Amino acid sequence: HLQFHTNYILEAPEERLNLRTNFNSNIGVLKLYPGITPQAVQAITESKVDAIILETFGSGNTTTAKWFLDSLQQAIDSGKIIVDISQCKKGSVQLGRYETSRDLQQMGILSGYDLTFEATVTKLMFVMGLGLPIEESKKLMEKPLRGELTND
């Protein structure tokens, strides 16, 4: 028998379905690993992508090496959106919880909370395809649109 937990099911929106077909797939992926080099990081941060998915350790932790943080800051300053997601199968990014992620939070890197990699790619493609100003796009990335993330 199938048991439905209706409190976990999103209600259907009131408005009519609006099919969107304009997606921006110009996304880079930076998966961290012990010993990652400045050249490996800069290959992504200095590329011509519009957004970067930063796959970090645990709840959003990274190296605090100056070269690493400077590379991320330069990417943000050039107009790139950076979303921090965890490499862990379960859990959530909590920027600022530990010292190693405090700098990321302060420089404007977005928390992907409990988004999966696939959900992050899809959400970035959708949000960037809306053609909104970057600050509006950033707000949408950290807010659940259709139950894809938990940010409480």
What digits encode the pLDDT tens for the residues 96-140?
Answer: 898 888 999 999 999 999 999 999 999 999 999 999 999 999 999
d(CA 15, CA 112): 27
> Exposed, middle or buried by CB within 10 Å (0-12, 13-18, 19+), for 41?
buried
How many domains does the structure of the chain reveal?
Answer: 1
Range of the domain at 44: 22-141
CATH number for 102: 3.40.50.40
Q: Is 1 domain-assigned?
A: no
Residue 116 lies in a domain: yes
Residue 135's H or E segment, with its range, is helix 134-141
Q: What is the pTM of this model?
A: 0.91
Would 65 be classed as within a structural domain?
yes
The 10s digit of each residue's pLDDT in 37-59 is 999 999 999 999 999 999 999 99
